[in-house]
Chains A and B, each alone.
Chain A
Amino acid sequence: MILPIGPVHPGLKEPLRLKLKTRGEKVLSAEIDYGYIHRGIERIMQGKTWQKGIFLSERVCGICSYIHTQTFAETFERIAGEYAPLRAQYLRVLTNELDRIQSHLLANSTYFKAMEHETLFMYMLALREPVMDAIELLTGNRVNMGWNVVGGVKMDIKQTHMDQIMQIMNKLESEYGRYVEIYEDGPLVGGLRSKDVGVMTKEEAIMARAVGPIGRASGLEHDVREQHHTYKDNFDWNVVWRKEGDNFARTMNRFDEVWESISLIKQVINNIPEGDVRKKIDIPAGVAEWRNEAPRGEVTYSIETNGNLIKNISIRTPSIMNIDACAKYMLNDVATVADAVATYATSDPCIACAERVTILDESGRVRDFHGVHNINSKLKG
């Protein structure tokens, strides 16, 4: 029997259709339909200056909006062959890690909601609010920050901001461990509904091109921050990864990355160098590509410019690979439908990122699009 879920459904925040092939309560396989919130953002950016494009890139995705602007700005800096001032690079790391913390907490809270553990869901959201406060304090808005520019960041950080962020981080660090413990060892959750559910092995993760925490939970020891010049040269941190590849590993991987982010933020505040936060960069004509580690994995921008206007831009977001990996490898032989929805939630889907295409047939009707793995066969048929 085929069980359709979505596009508007109590279990899903964002519009997407899951088609679960079931026998009884057991889920045999799954198929995913995209294309519900395609806006054509890359096409809108063409022919605009970077000053306008950076606000558009921010609105690719509302949860990881920060990393999109950073990658956009760094791609332009690469075209010019220059780097932002060191203080601006530190501030970018600071905001990026704050954004990663709030995104991971949100992702885990939706997972707890999907497995009906309201208490932890509320705990996670309560932890997330001070982090959102820190972001708003620093940048002026909670979600779409408008903080990056090509050649640095807009405003300098003040000493009072640093104190307040440090305070928030200390509080988070002292409370956070207890909530992780509830999940890890607590009698209700630990292993009960998350261990050995939705397993994806390392080979499957490579086949599905899984990135970010989803790939790292399956044993892919890969983080783009290792290659990033700021992280590589100035900070002391580790790549978090696990071997199991089940729901438990994915959730715990995100929990552990928050520890790393907290330590990175503390390093930034303790070691931030003096200097300008913004310099003027003249952009020549050229093409460049740049990748960064978003909360969900690797995001790639490739931009062609004529020096003034964006001629061509292509954005590759991590969600599309992860959602594909979820549909193809994680949702095979799941014991119950409820587990399938929870497994889908732990793959941290961000549909707004993933929407790059709506396929219309000649008469203008929307055709189903089931993801990258199926696109070739679908287009032929």
Chain B
Amino acid sequence: MSSVIWYLYEFARKSWAENFAAAKSDKEIMDAPDRFRNFPEVHKEYCIACGACTAACPAPMAIKLVRDEDNAHEDGFTYPVINNRGCIRCGFCAEVCPTDPKTLTCGENHLIREDFTILPVDKKFVIDDYLCIRCKKCMKTCKVGDAIVEEDNKIVIDQSKCISCGECLKTCPVKGAIKGIHISNVEEQKEIINLVVNSLEAKIEAEQDKIKDIVGSDVYSFDISAVELIEDAKKILDDDELIDDIIENITDRLKLRVITWDKDKCTNCRLCVKECPSGAIKYTSEEGVVRNPDKCLRCSICYQTCPFGAIGYYISRFLYKRDEAEKIIHVTVKTSDLPVRS
């Protein structure tokens, strides 16, 4: 009974009766306040294609840079495109956009100008076709539409569209298949490469005695300290990161072939002298058969020719460990699997 009275009291209230009589859906429910962040709007005429928005976006599939087709009069616009199915409406792309006026507007977030900038990268990214396994992971992660394309069954980076964000480098499963190449100081870089290869070769030549003992499928490996090498390279160009990158890039693919020469087994038959394509092997009556390493091509013809096994032919590979306290180059030497011509 008490509840009935209570409800009667509730219904008899004036405000309740008024609300009940004038019940209707609020018109304002579709309105949003000024600060409401809807999906960002793109004003493509201001875009400078810097890629700051794609680098800043916390959602993986929300934003991509695309480029229109060029026509006869002008280049096509490059501009970001928002995918509404991925965009989380945080407005961060509008905050980091460096253009003035802003390319992206979102709520009132584009009024914020914070000094968050992505660093301009002095690197160019290329795909090494020799190491690429065509998994296409880089194509999926690329923040720019069509920057990595498949041409003639090869994966290539379109340099006119790449913004050098380096995302592809992180996803690539093969070490060294995607390389960041420094664009500046090309001549100095060549010198450093020559220096590194020559000094590596000299280091391996010094280990000849141990290399000769490798039999069958054995592997001989040793570490070379890279500290001296880096010191020498710094005299050419004083840039730690660049030197590290160069050493890593060349050691990823470098395959040095090593020829060893066993004087005791040589019978001076001079078969190799005739076969050598570069004339690096000479015979003199005083010294017997001698190889000149500077002229030698490491083509292995002498190794395949020699009937007495005086010549050894080995292959060495390298791994640069840059993250350790003392940077080292790890060298692995093994016998080549080439058959010996009989």
Contacts and interface: CB of A to CB of B under 8 A. Distances in A.
B3 A141 contact: no
A141 B2 contact: no
A228 interface: no
Nearest to A119: B10
7 contacts: A55-B59, A55-B90, A137-B35, A140-B108, A141-B37, A146-B92, A155-B109
Contact of B36 (A141, A155, A278): A141
Given A188-B3, A278-B114, 5 more contacts: A51-B116, A136-B36, A140-B33, A141-B36, A146-B92
Interface of A: 51-52, 55-56, 133, 136-141, 144, 146, 154-155, 186-188, 278, 280
Contacts of B37: 140-141, 146
B238 to A, nearest CB: 24
B58 A154 contact: no
Contact of B58 (A52, A136, A141, A278): A52
Contacts of A51: 56, 58, 92, 116
Contacts of B36: 136, 140-141
Which secondary structure characterizes the binding site on chain B? loop
Contacts, number: 55
A141 B89 contact: yes
A140 B107 contact: yes
Interface string B103-133: 0000111011011100000000000000000
Contacts of A140: 33, 35-37, 91, 107-109
B22 interface: no
Nearest to B6: A187
B326 to A, nearest CB: 21
B35 A55 contact: no
B61 interface: no
B2 A187 contact: yes
Nearest to B91: A146
B88 interface: yes
A56 B58 contact: yes
A144 B59 CA distance: 14
A56 B90 CA distance: 11
B114 to A, nearest CB: 8
B60 to A, nearest CB: 10
B32 interface: yes
A138 B2 contact: no
B92 A55 contact: yes
Interface residues of B, number: 25
A262 B116 CA distance: 36
Contact of A154 (B2, B6, B109, B115): B109
B32 A146 contact: no
Given A136-B33, A138-B35, A55 B109 contact: no
Contacts of B6: 186-188
Contacts of A188: 3, 6
A159 to B, nearest CB: 14
A98 B236 CA distance: 62
What 8 A-B pairs come out closest when comparing CB atoms?
A140-B35, A55-B58, A52-B58, A146-B90, A140-B37, A187-B3, A140-B107, A137-B33
A136 B28 CA distance: 14
Interface in B63-94: 88-92
Nearest to A164: B33
Contacts of B35: 136-140, 155
Contacts of B91: 140, 146
Contacts of B2: 187
Contacts of A280: 115
A162 to B, nearest CB: 14
Contacts of A186: 6
Nearest to B4: A187
Interface in B291-328: none
Contacts of B114: 278
A186 B56 CA distance: 54
B329 to A, nearest CB: 26
Nearest to A188: B3
A251 B125 CA distance: 60
Interface string B30-44: 001101110000000
A308 to B, nearest CB: 12
Contacts of A155: 35, 108-109, 111-112
A24 B90 CA distance: 51
Nearest to B26: A129
Contacts of A133: 33
B92 A136 contact: no
A188 B116 CA distance: 58
A72 B272 CA distance: 73
Contacts of B90: 55, 144, 146
Nearest to B13: A178
